[in-house]
Structure 1
Amino acid sequence: MINVCTRLRRAIVRNDLRLVQRIVRSNPNVLQNPDYGDKSNTSLHLACKQGFIEIAEFLVEAGHDDETISYNGDGNTPLMTAAEAGHVDIAQMLIETFPRCVPWANSKQQDALMLACKSGALPLLPILLAADHPADLAQADADGNTALHHASAAGELKAIRLLLQHGASPLAQNRNRWTPIQYSATAAAELYFKNLVAEFEKRRVEGMKEAREWERERDRQRMGGVRLVTSEEAGVVPSTGHWDWSPVEARRAMTPTTGRSEPFVFPSPPPAGPRARARSGD
C-alpha cells in the first residue's frame, strides 16, 4: 500500500487539486512533507517547481510556511524555486504572502532576482524590485556576481535593460574582476549592452544638468530679495498735506451705506500745522 507522503507528492505532480485537498485535510501533519530523497523539497516547493498555482494557493491557505519559511537542500525557498522555474504567477503570490523573504539568498548566495534573471522571468523582475522588502541590485552571490551578471550571461537583453533602468551598476566586478558586460553571450549582445550603458549615462548627465539649472534658478530667486514698490508703480495718487493713504486703503472698495443716495465723499485731510489740544468737559 502506498503511504500518505508518497500519495501526496504524486497528487501534486499530477495537478490533482481535489486529491491534494483530501489528503491534507485528512492528514494535516503531512502538509509540508519534505522529500529527503529530492533535496528535501516540501509540498510547496514541488507545486512551485511544477507551476501549479491552485495547489500552491491551497497549501499556503492550509498553513504551509506559516511558522517559518521552508528551505530545501540547496537553501532555496519556494519563491526561489518558482523564480528559477520561471513561474511568475506563483512567485507573485508568494511575494504578496511572504514579502520578507524576497531579499533572502540560498546556499550559493543567490536571491530570487538572480534566479529570475537566469530563467528569463522578465515580468517578475519589477515585482521583486518593488516589493515591501525589495531585492537588492547590489547583492552578489558567492562568486561575486550580481543580478546583472546573471542576466548578461543568460543573454536576457530585456532583463539587462530593466535592471539598468532601476540603477544596476554595469561596472560591478565579481571575484574574477569581470563586469557584467564581459559576460555577454554574443557580440551583438555586447554591442547592445554597451549602447544601453551609453544611453543611460547620457540620460544621467542630462538629469544632472537639469537639476543644477533648477538649483541655480532657485538660488537666484532666493538671492533676489524684496523690491520696494513706489506709489507711482502701485497706481496710487499721493495726497497733499500729511495724510498719506496706503495703497491698500486707496484700492479698497467702500461698503455701501443703507439709504444713502449721494456718493460717498472722503473726509478732508486735517489742516497742516500743530494740532489743537482737545478741550476738557470743564
Structure 2
Amino acid sequence: MLAARGGLIETVHYLCQVDASWILCRDIHGRDAIMEASRGGHDTVVQILLTYVPGGAREAVRREDQEGNTALHFASSGGHLLVLRTLLAAGADATHENVWCWTPVAYSASVQAEVYLKGLINEVEKRRQQQAQSQTRKNKLSPPGDPKRGQGGAGTIGLRIVREEDDNKLRPPRLAP
C-alpha cells in the first residue's frame, strides 16, 4: 500500500509478481492500493495494479472506501488526468455517488480536469453505444439458431479450403471452340 501511495513503480511491480493479493487490502479508511495510487496521480502504478489485481480491473475500480469514494473520486480530486483516463478505460463508473451524493466530476480539482473528465465520460459512453449497435446488427444478420450468433456472422472474414475436385465442380463448363 505504501509503495502504491508513493508511486514506487519497481517495488509495486515486484510485489505484484510475488503475490498480488495485497492490492485489495484496505487501510483504516477502507482504501486499497488502487485508490492510493490514484490519489497520488501515479498512472504507471495504477496500470500495473490493474494488470495484476485479483478478480479483474473492472471490479477493482468500482470498489469504495468507507465514505463511498472510488479511485475515480481520488483521481478527479487531484486533477490527475492520465489516471482518470486509465480508470475509465478499466470500467470505472463516472456516475457513482459517495455518501454525500458527490460524483467524481463534482470533485474535479480544476475546471480543466472537469472538462477533461466530462469529455472522457462522453467518449466512453459513445464507444459503449457503438459496441451495442454493432452487436445488435450482428445479431440481426445471424440466423436465430446460429451458435456463432453475436460472434461475427455476416461481414466477418473466413477461409474456404477448396480441393481440386471441388474446384472442377465449381467451374462453368467449357464451351467447344
Fold match by TM threshold 0.5: yes
CA distance in 1, matches of 2:87, 2:43: 10
Cα distance change on mapping 1:159 and 1:203 into 2, 3 Å: same
Amino acid at match of 1:159: V
Report 1:189-204 matches (<5 A): 189-204=113-128
How many Å apart are 1:205 and its aligned residue? 0.3
How many Å apart are 1:219 and its aligned residue? 2.2
**What SS class does the counterpart of residue 43 from structure 2 fall into?**
coil
The gaps in structure 2 that reach 5 residues or longer are: 147-165, 170-177
Aligned to 2:107: 183
- Is the counterpart of residue 173 in structure 1 residue 94 in structure 2? no
Amino acid at match of 2:115: L
Report 1:232-243 matches (<5 A): none
- Is the counterpart of residue 122 in structure 1 residue 43 in structure 2? yes
Amino acid at match of 1:98: D
Q: What TM-score, normalized to structure 2? A: 0.77
Match of 1:219 among 143, 146, 164: 143
- Is the counterpart of residue 95 in structure 1 residue 19 in structure 2? no
1:146-200 CA-to-partner distances (Å, cap 9, x unmatched) read 0000000011011001111111000011010100000001112111111111111
CA distance in 1, matches of 2:52, 2:75: 20
1:60-114 CA-to-partner distances (Å, cap 9, x unmatched) read xxxxxxxxxxxxxxxxxxxx00011111110111111121111111111000000
Amino acid at match of 1:179: T
CA distance in 1, matches of 2:53, 2:111: 38
1:101-137 CA-to-partner distances (Å, cap 9, x unmatched) read 1111111100000010111211111221121515611
Aligned to 1:85: 6
CA distance in 2, matches of 1:212, 1:82: 45
1:19-41 CA-to-partner distances (Å, cap 9, x unmatched) read xxxxxxxxxxxxxxxxxxxxxxx
Aligned to 1:60: none
CA distance in 1, matches of 2:46, 2:35: 9
CA distance in 2, matches of 1:120, 1:190: 16
Query: Which is richer in helix?
Result: 2
- Is the counterpart of residue 161 in structure 1 residue 88 in structure 2? no
CA distance in 1, matches of 2:40, 2:77: 11
Cα distance change on mapping 1:214 and 1:107 into 2, 3 Å: same
CA distance in 2, matches of 1:118, 1:212: 39
CA distance in 1, matches of 2:61, 2:78: 17
Larger radius of gyration: 1
CA distance in 2, matches of 1:146, 1:220: 41
> Displaced runs of 4+ in structure 1, greater than 6 A?
none
CA distance in 1, matches of 2:53, 2:39: 23
Cα distance change on mapping 1:220 and 1:97 into 2, 3 Å: closer
Q: What TM-score, normalized to structure 1? A: 0.49
Amino acid at match of 2:40: S
Cα distance change on mapping 1:218 and 1:150 into 2, 3 Å: same
CA distance in 2, matches of 1:109, 1:93: 24
CA distance in 2, matches of 1:104, 1:132: 11
Report 1:1-282 matches (<5 A): 80-131=1-52, 133=54, 134=56, 136-219=60-143, 222=146
Cα distance change on mapping 1:111 and 1:214 into 2, 3 Å: same
CA distance in 2, matches of 1:220, 1:87: 52
